[in-house]
Amino acid sequence: MGGVAAYSTLGWFDDPVLSTFVYRNHVKLAALIFHELAHQLLYVEDDTTFNESFATAVEQEGLRRWLATKNDLNALTDYQIDYQRHRQFVQLVMKYRKQLESLYAEDVSTPTKRDAKALAFDGLRDEYRLLKQQWEGYSGYDLWFGNTLNNAQLISVATYYDLVPEFLKLLQHSEYNLKLFYKECQNLAKKTKEERRARLQQYLNPKRAQIK
């Protein structure tokens, strides 16, 4: 268990942005607003990964458009750098999450799995240190690595980003028309969880993905 910086009440209150989480810079606050408003637009019961990945994709596209209208080149540059770092962080975590999934599926003893798990987390920390060197010492994710790593931490990252590439590809296929994008996402919400995953996966293959 742990605290969260922000959360959605799914329409319980008229204002989705509460006073408890507005103490951040204007770019991060704008990103939060786009994210929480996305939850009010679409929410699927019992599919957290779909909901959070959808909201994260809307957040990224909304922030990109908003910064373009502000004509704030410095803020846009900072956002692009921060986004690239975050993308690398997510890719790193997802890499080791897949390794651990494969490990847990192996027919080996529990002590062997525990030893391999510890080695995997050591590898994750080592690669993060290399990333920090590339980032010239940027320490924005030190807190995430500050405690003992566990499966729940990896899952928390996956929940928010597992399907983001698929949603962004869907947005591209929608020719960045948000009305078409939202309509297709609402159609996906009517399907089963397995059908939604299968449909979203198709958008990563341009030859197979079509918007109907």
Gyration radius of the chain's alpha carbons: 19
Q: Would residue 130 count as lying in a domain?
A: yes
Position 209 confidence tier, pLDDT thresholds 50, 70, 90: very low
Q: Would residue 30 count as lying in a domain?
A: yes
- Give me the domain span that covers residue 70: 19-202
Q: Would residue 24 count as lying in a domain?
A: yes
pLDDT digits (tens, 9 = 90+) for 116-165: 999 999 999 999 999 999 999 999 999 999 888 999 888 888 788 889 98
Position 211 confidence tier, pLDDT thresholds 50, 70, 90: very low
> What's the rounded Cα separation, in Å, for the pair 133 and 6?
30
Q: Would residue 165 count as lying in a domain?
A: yes
Q: Would residue 12 count as lying in a domain?
A: no
Q: Would residue 3 count as lying in a domain?
A: no
Residue 16 near residue 23 (C-beta atoms within 8 A): no
> What's the rounded Cα separation, in Å, for the pair 107 and 109?
7
> Among all chains, which residue has been given the structure tokens 């296929």?
173
Instruction: Tell which wins on pLDDT, 113 or 210.
Output: 113
> What's the rounded Cα separation, in Å, for the pair 191 and 98?
26
Residue 203 near residue 164 (C-beta atoms within 8 A): no
Which one-letter DSSP state was computed for residue 19?
G
pLDDT digits (tens, 9 = 90+) for 72-105: 778 878 888 888 898 899 899 999 999 999 999 9
Q: Would residue 28 count as lying in a domain?
A: yes
What's the rounded mean pLDDT across residues 52-67? Answer: 92
> What's the rounded Cα separation, in Å, for the pair 86 and 88?
5
What rounded mean pLDDT belongs to the chain? Answer: 88
- CA distances, 15 to each of 21, 24, 155, 211 (Å): 12, 18, 29, 33
Q: Would residue 10 count as lying in a domain?
A: no
Q: How many domains does the chain have?
A: 1
Token pair of 212 as six digits: 């109907």
Ranges 17-21, 22-26, 62-66: which has the least confidence: 17-21
